[in-house]
């Protein structure tokens, strides 16, 4: 199922509210998943990573390793695919002050039940936390996961925890909420974590 080209998914609106709460100093109530995600370890064997090339509103080549990132994921709200979230530090080389966190949300179509896949339509959202900057592709027609593999996470204490390796690219940019600025993630490659029923 494809999102309307100009419509923001409902969860994006929720994400914006969350960012506004953070920006205004409201205290977050951490969930167990969030506590795990912020513990400094993405995967049980510390092999999580993200590499990506960003152009446009942010110009940087990212090379994040497990100790640098927080990750979590699960089924998309409609049940049609996976949502994988990976957050890490935005370096000063991106042209802005260092110390900011950049969060990616990959909505991968028809991947929830598959252990392997290719040519999977993907919705991409990038959020610069604390600034209210959000870029979204507003649909899954601009980015593609050309290879995906899902398997049990090594050394995971919970049988519902899985490792997801994905490699892909975007041919079209993600746009800011007002449509004035754009961010193109030309390539991405990551290993992250999702929680699913075994």
Q: Where are the domains of the chain?
A: 10-26+40-195
Contact at 8 Å (CB) between 185 and 52? yes
pLDDT for residue 30: 32
Q: How confident is the model at residue 149 (pLDDT cuts 50, 70, 90)?
A: very high
Model confidence over 39-78: pLDDT tens digits?
Answer: 458 999 999 999 999 999 999 999 999 999 999 999 998 8
The residue whose two tokens read 């709200």 is 77
Q: Is the pLDDT of residue 181 over 50?
A: yes
Mean pLDDT score of the chain: 80
Q: What tokens appear for 77 in the block?
A: 């709200």
Residue 89 to residue 168: CA distance in whole angstroms: 21
Contact at 8 Å (CB) between 135 and 174? yes
Contact at 8 Å (CB) between 38 and 61? no
pLDDT for residue 37: 38
| pTM (whole model) above 0.75 | yes
Q: What sections of the chain are H helices per DSSP?
A: 10-23, 32-37
End-to-end CA distance of the chain: 24
Q: Which residues touch 18 (CB under 8 Å, ≥6 apart)?
A: 28
How much of the chain exceeds pLDDT 70, in percent? 73
Residue 176 to residue 139: CA distance in whole angstroms: 14
Q: What average pLDDT does range 25-49 have in this prediction? A: 57
Q: What average pLDDT does range 140-161 have in this prediction? A: 87
Tell me how far CA of residue 76 lies from CA of 11, 85, 88, 114, 153, in angstroms: 10, 11, 22, 14, 20
Q: Is the pLDDT of residue 91 over 80?
A: yes
The residue whose two tokens read 């935005």 is 90
pLDDT for residue 198: 62
Tell me how far CA of residue 22 lies from CA of 49, 73, 135, in angstroms: 26, 21, 18
Range with the poorest average pLDDT among 55-64, 92-101, 159-168, 180-189: 92-101
The residue whose two tokens read 């080209």 is 5
Q: What average pLDDT does range 78-86 have in this prediction? A: 91
Q: How confident is the model at residue 146 (pLDDT cuts 50, 70, 90)?
A: very high
């Amino acid at each position: 199922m494809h999102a309307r080209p100009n419509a923001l998914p409902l969860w994006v609106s929720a994400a914006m509210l969350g960012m506004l709460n953070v920006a205004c100093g409201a205290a977050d109530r951490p969930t167990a998943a969030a506590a795990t995600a912020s513990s400094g370890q993405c995967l049980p064997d510390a092999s999580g990573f993200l590499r990506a090339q960003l152009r446009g509103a942010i110009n940087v080549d990212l090379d994040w390793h497990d100790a640098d990132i927080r990750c979590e994921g699960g089924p998309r709200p409609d049940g049609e695919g996976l949502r994988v979230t990976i957050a890490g530090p935005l370096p000063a080389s991106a042209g802005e002050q260092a110390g900011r966190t950049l969060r990616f949300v990959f909505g991968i179509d028809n991947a929830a039940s598959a252990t392997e896949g290719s040519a999977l339509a993907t919705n991409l959202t990038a959020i610069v936390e604390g600034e209210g900057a959000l870029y979204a592709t507003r649909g899954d027609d601009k980015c593609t996961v050309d290879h995906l593999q899902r398997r049990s996470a090594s050394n995971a204490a919970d049988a519902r925890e899985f490792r997801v390796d994905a490699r892909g690219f975007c041919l079209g940019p993600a746009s800011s909420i007002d449509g004035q600025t754009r961010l193109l993630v030309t390539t991405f490659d990551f290993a992250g974590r999702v929680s699913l029923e075994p």
